[in-house]
A = this chain, B = another copy of it.
Amino acid sequence: MTIQSFYPPQRILMGPGPSDIYPQVLQALSRPTVGHLDPLFIGMMDELKQLLQYAFQTTNPFTIAVSAPGSAGMEACFVNLVEPGEKVIVCRNGVFGERMRENVVRCGGEAVLVDNAWGEPVDPQAVEAALKAHPDAKILAFVHAETSTGALSDAETLSRLAREHDCLTIVDAVTSLGGVPLKVDEWQLDAVYSGSQKCLSCVPGLSPLTFSPRAVDKIQQRKTPVQSWFLDQSLVLAYWSGEGKRSYHHTAPVNSLYALHEALVRLQQEGLENAWQRHAEMHQVLRAGLEAMGIRFVVDEKSRLPQLNAIYIPDGADDAKVRQTLLEDYNLEIGAGLGALAGKAWRIGLMGYGARRENIALCLKALEEVLK
């Protein structure tokens, strides 16, 4: 066996993530590694916390990046906030709502499901009915931007309903952060996690996470230990906290954190509102081109995510073959359908650095050529 160095091709990433990475982020990634307790690195982490607070629009002191992908960020929320026997209302309108249910069950919680069809947003009336029917529920969990369908739910309204029924909220913002308005403090969301590889255009592997003071209170009042040592946020906070001496928990993924810092510096330079606006505008350009080709969207216009465009595969097109041709002949990746939409839909991402006119032009022309 002799294996050589791996040289990947330069793809154009228009799937559901990873998105096109900012060149500056890849440069930051390969800067010299320093120790995870180096004072200069700890200064960088303090800045990273501020940048994440800006992206999340929050002043929560507990705002960090989990040293693992978004699904570990999801699990960090559930294992810290759910105690065995507690009831959690889980909204399920795609793959990630179902994954939330799995998390509740594995924490020993009881999941009460509010189902909506794939492609639809979470229905606030159904959520309110569930909250009324289950006054002992402690938490409402929902996905803000369903990556499997491209549907945006009304996080502000769902959060208000949760508060009216004394529930905390766990919110999946993996695909929404940086792409559409997400206002953690104004909407009073409690535990919100995201991913580095979507609208932040950073490499995959980190999960931004923020807990409100209410969420931190609930963690501090736990009667049972958190079942995960790695994801026990009271231990993690002793490393991320700016107060006093940092204590070692695990070895931070130093270079990946450089990359996230750089991605957030770029978001700060563009301005969050400008980034939202750019995603909305680029979506309109893509939409006009797709509709001109007779292609239909899975999600109704009013709850459609600009950064994740789920479209029905045109009649007669061979799902796998079209995606393979786009990849091999055009170096263009678009996403397959997931779960209930597998074989029925494609997902075209316009995320972060990927939401550019040249990407859209390539995608439209390549699709036109491959589908004809």
Contacts and interface: CB of A to CB of B under 8 A. Distances in A.
Interface of A: 1-11, 13, 15, 17-18, 20-21, 24, 26-41, 44, 47, 50-51, 54, 67-72, 74-75, 79, 99, 102-103, 105-107, 195, 197, 203-205, 225-230, 248-256, 258, 261-262, 264-265, 268, 327, 333, 336, 338
Q: Which 6 A-B pairs have the closest CB atoms?
A: A205-B253, A30-B30, A68-B68, A71-B250, A26-B30, A203-B255
B15 A35 contact: yes
Contacts of A44: 6, 8
B32 A250 contact: no
Does more than half of chain A's interface fall in helix, strand or loop, or is it mixed?
loop
Contacts of A333: 34-35, 38
A34 B8 contact: yes
Q: How many copies of this chain does the complex contain?
A: 2
Contacts of A203: 33, 253-256
Nearest to A204: B251
Nearest to A10: B32
A265 B204 contact: no
Contacts of A248: 338
Nearest to A72: B230
A262 B5 contact: yes
Contacts of A30: 26-27, 29-30
